[in-house]
Amino acid sequence: MSAVPDVTLNNGVRIPQLGFGTFQIPPEQTREATLAALETGYRHIDTAQMYGNEKEVGQAVRDSGLDRADVFVTSKLDNGAHAYDDALRAFDGTMDALDLDHLDLFLIHWPLPGRGDFTETWKAMEEIYRSGRAKAVGVSNFQPPHLRRLLEGAQVVPAVNQIEVHPYLTQDAVRSFGAEHEIATEAWSPIAQGKVLGDPVIAEHLA
């Protein structure tokens, strides 16, 4: 695997442009899958509280023999932990599960305004960031109305908005809003769960 370029976030933290996602990998398979990804050359590993495999991701990072500074680890807040105190406790749980000295990026997984006020959740994220235990904080699956509301009272601008982006879902408005406010867009499902690989136009350019 050739060297993967970095992207510099709005707080100066550098994130590898290509990451290995652990969504839908059963916990009992996560350590080996993550180790294989790291051996292949991936240096960004993405997990989440709701995936149930943070512990195994942490094991793989520790067992890889790589310097911790050379592996970028992302996790995300569970949907049931949006209250301020709940978010702080949930982050403690993530750090206990990963058993790493810091997290590189922590995200609010979904805005879910029906479950609580995500601006209060963001205050907890800012506190986590100020503690130094997360090098950067951001959001996931936020649309421009969510971001505008969050930014009205934010002291820290989200470093990242992780959204579904691929050739069949370009999310132009979300990406433009992010660029305007120095919020990096990170794509999940960038090949549409493999569908783009069968697209004749894309296949022609891969040939």
Tokens of 48: 């989440």
The answer to whether 120 and 157 are in contact (CB under 8 A) is no
> What type of residue is 74?
T
DSSP E strands in the chain: the ranges are 6-8, 14-16, 20-21, 44-46, 72-77, 105-108, 137-140, 160-164, 184-188
Cα dihedral across residues 98, 191, 113, 117: positive or negative: positive
In the three-class reduction of DSSP (H, G, I as helix; E, B as strand; rest coil), residue 156 is classed as coil
Indicate if 168 belongs to the active site. Answer: no
Query: Which of 42, 51, 84, 129 is flagged as catalytic?
Result: 51
**Alpha-carbon 198 to chain mean position:** 27
Cβ pair 61, 68 in contact under 8 A: yes
110 SS3 class: coil
Of 188, 83, 88, 73, nearest in space to 141 by CA: 188
Active site residues: 51
